[in-house]
Amino acid sequence: MALIFLWALVSDRLARWSITAPIAFVLAGAVLAGGDHPVLRLDFETDAFRRSVELVLAVMLFADATEARSYERLENPTVEHRLLGLALPASVGLATLFGAALFPGTGWWLLVVAALVVMPMDLAPVLNLLKDERVPWRVRAALNIEGGFNDGLISPLFVFAVANAVGHGDDSFADLVLNALQGAVLAVLVGTALGLGASWLVRRSHLAGWAEPRVLRLAGLALPFLAYAGAVLIGGNGFVAAFVTGMCYARTAHDVGRDHLDLVHDASQLMAIGAWFAFGKLVADEFAHGIELTVVAYGFLALTAARYVPVVLSLTGTDFTRAERNVMGWLGPRGVTSIVFAVLAYVELGARDASLVLKLAGSTVLLSVILHGVTAEPLARWLGRRAVIADGGEGSRTGPA
């Protein structure tokens, strides 16, 4: 809490030196919680810690779903379907193949887990791009929709892959598939019922004047926790439930007021800071004796080829320009989503497997913070110049008000 307080005081000043919250709290976690004699001891083995990390992801998924739904649909609706239905599976497949090539002898399910950890896009490291009017509106909208939905789609696959990587035990592969499907179906039912029910109640309360909008923000904050708990209690997937709840609740949330979801997003940011801090401790411990070249190579390939090629190919034939396709292929930053998945894998997997997944996630996220952080501003300037030239100085570079 003291670190968060101090960060709030100097955040803008540090931002001028490109020191973002992720960088600051990863460093803080490494210095204060890493090593053999840490100032702060973090116990990752407890059930309470695992539940806390899962709740971080649930709140993030809820917030992502509501934020993505706040964007109007793209002029070409097939774009979002291509990004999520074609590019995302292809990216996971390429990352798995890269892992097999770089780490021969590693189990396929573990390679799939690693790919699912490192491939979800998180725009947090380049969040200013979503407000940068030099970047065409449709590019920002497409990236925001992709970032909002890809982690929601990957989360049930991640749970299924981890279950297979840990070992079947008494359950056959068919049993695991059925369990995963059952958990997803129950989660969808819980999320739909809760999201639509809460939507009706909040709208009714708002129209009847039973509660002020600023107080109704508390209702929005409670929903991801209720969704996660409700799904888990009946054997469902809490992540999927939180995501579906956010999708169903989004329209009402924005109708109630533009700031109705501010409290949820603030809570998500606060919980994400805790995840960055924990990640700093884990990375410091894993990389204490150096980092293998193959680990760095995997992270670089995950950020470049595994992302760029599927995205650019999937957008071929759309009305996105070549420059826009190239920028969208490059802008696939990794952040809190990968960290949360990595921490959950660390808790669930055996020591050796967990160490590999954590190293790959750490390499990918740290490289992303550097590469995407350095290139985001030049890319925005480049797109802005091209838009002005193409539109004769008048182009439509902003979105709807």
Based on C-alpha coordinates, what's the Rg of the chain? 21
| Neighbouring C-beta atoms of residue 394, cutoff 10 Å | 8
Q: Give the tens place of pLDDT for each residue, 207-244.
A: 888 988 888 889 989 999 999 999 999 988 888 899 89
pLDDT at 301 over 90: yes
Overall average pLDDT of the 35-55 stretch: 79
Domain ranges of the chain: 20-390
Per-residue pLDDT, 136: 79
pLDDT at 174 over 80: no
Q: How far apart are CA 396 and CA 388, in angstroms?
A: 9
Per-residue pLDDT, 92: 95
Half-sphere CA count of 345, side-chain side, radius 13 A = 37
Q: How far apart are CA 152 and CA 240, in angstroms?
A: 6
Select 20-390's CATH number: 1.10.10.520, 3.40.50.10310, 1.20.1530.20, 3.40.309.10. Answer: 1.20.1530.20
The share of the chain scoring above pLDDT 70, in percent, equals 88
Per-residue pLDDT, 395: 41
Overall average pLDDT of the 12-17 stretch: 74
| Tokens at 134, concatenated | 């030099």
Q: Give the tens place of pLDDT for each residue, 104-141.
A: 989 999 999 999 999 988 776 666 666 677 887 788 88
103 φψ region: left (φ > 0), alpha (ψ -120 to 50), beta (else): beta
pLDDT at 194 over 60: yes
Per-residue pLDDT, 230: 94
pTM for the whole structure: 0.80
pLDDT at 363 over 60: yes
pLDDT at 359 over 60: yes
CA 157 to the chain's CA centroid: 14
Q: Which residues contact 89 (CB under 8 A, 6 or more apart)?
A: none
